[in-house]
Structure 1
């Protein structure tokens, strides 16, 4: 794949924020059809895409409720696997002007889309975040493909982008860090830059092995061994290489980075 420059991992996804089933003043039900928002009104109309501009919603999260409005709609036609609908949201503020719900991504877009949670609901993720980036790279957790564990691939991708080696929500990457991402299913293929070296193999629970930490100032191999005993004998280039990991079924995704 093309080399990615990572945006701030702290701003990638708004965990726990979900749309309620009823839109304010709409008299209907809101659902996610894959990454697309669909509003079915009580009068029989079904709103999608541009027709949703102007609709106000309530996001219910751990810190209370936030009222937002859909102010724009577009499609990312460059996304791997087909177009992804993108929604721009503004946050209503009682004491000042409205603000963008999403931080800008590398293309300057303040946009996002719903991610189905597998149980009938969904979270909203931004294109500036790891969850959103991984979907745009082709790892679509709602899709079912024979022999391709899409949900596990998406989880592995999120851990990889964050350099969350233990899979325990302790990211160690840094803004502006370039990585080359590829997987065993050919959804993304390696386009390693000169000087990059094999960093790690990844599964849904984090790294399967680590050849070198992405940002040595943030974490060392010794520290990883202390934090994550399961990785203790799979650290360093002698214990972690692409050749060693290709036969390993737990290793779904791989990456190169600059040492």
Structure 2
């Protein structure tokens, strides 16, 4: 059970490797899983950014506007047997569906529902994404409610089982791959920044992505009282964006411990903390002690963390003890 204190085996992203573009908010791929020096549970390592047939659905507009990859929602179908024209919404960073009569579907009631998405082009047909699993998992923050997660699958004749999870998880256990959702906000993959006040947009955050970790840490925009600045500081911390310009200085399997200023997240009492890594703000690292990857050379000059603490920022991180 994840509560106030926990031990994190930090997982970076496929794009955290040199030369990749989507460093911060993507997840570890199969080629990197084998490189992990630690056992890393799904929500700590996870899968790639949400996509359908190679096009990103990481962010979608509830009113059907196309995202940056041209993908758009074209319809929503309630589970079989339920009548009524239901409309998909996001409330408290969770999916809900309502019809004109005021009936509401949420949680496990959405299993069997279908979200239709369509790629650009006159000959493109809608692709059904089915909600085939629902689970509430413990938040990583003390006092925070459980986090809703969804298994989202779409038909793919080229896949081993004829279906594929939008999070590109284990092909033999497609329902095990899951995502959480974040309402009213999207995230810039290059700069590791928050795009707030996008009221009709949702982010599909696959297990292990920086956005999913942010949500599990209790920093969802609709499900917490956090500010965009606090959420951006969380993204900078999760992705080790020391300089604040979007470059990540982490890799899969790197162990790190963290705590926030509010005290809802802290290292486990038995964790052996190494040296202080950094104090984090929305602009990146306020200071830098020992980088989580030994020998890291940053493209910016940061002061020592001597005399600074989590009270000076939103987060503080520590490397693992040798």
TM-score (norm 1): 0.78
Residue pair 1:19, 1:122 contacting (<8 A) in 2 also: yes
Residue 167 of structure 1: CA displacement?
Answer: 2.9
- Secondary structure in 1 matching 2:266: coil
C-alpha contact (below 8 Å) 1:143/1:150 kept by paired residues? no
- RMSD, matched Cα: 3.1
Q: Residue 310 of structure 2 contacts residue 316 of structure 2 at CA under 8 Å; is this kept in 1?
A: no
Count, aligned residues: 238
Aligned CA distance change for structure 1 residues 150 and 109 (closer, same or farther; 3 Å): farther
Q: CA deviation at 1:85?
A: 1.0
How far 1:151 sits from its partner (Å)?
Answer: 3.4
Q: Is the 8 A contact 1:139 1:151 kept in 2?
A: no
Q: CA deviation at 1:123?
A: 1.0
> Are residue 201 (structure 1) and residue 295 (structure 2) matched?
no
The residue that corresponds to 1:112 in the other structure is: 179
> Are the structure 2 counterparts of residues 254 and 59 from structure 1 closer, same or farther at C-alpha, using a change threshold of 3 Å?
farther
Aligned position for 1:82: 145
Partner of 1:140 in structure 2? Answer: 220
Aligned residue in 2 for 1:20: 62
Q: Is the 1:19–1:57 contact (alpha carbons within 8 Å) kept by the matching residues of 2?
A: no
Q: 1:184 aligns with which of 261, 276, 283?
A: 261
Partner residue in 1 for 2:89 = 31
Structure 2 SS opposite 1:123: strand
Report if aligned partners of 1:4, 1:179 keep a CA contact under 8 Å in 2: yes
Aligned match of 2:299: 224
Moved more, 135-144 or 156-165: 135-144
Distance 1:4 1:159 in 2: 16
Structure 1 runs not aligned, ≥5 long: 226-231
Residues 1:66 and 1:165: Cα distance change in structure 2 (over 3 Å) = farther
The Cα shift of 1:78 comes to 4.8
Q: 1:132 & 1:61 partners in 2: Cα distance?
A: 25
Q: Equivalents in 1 of 2:105, 2:128: separation in Å?
A: 19
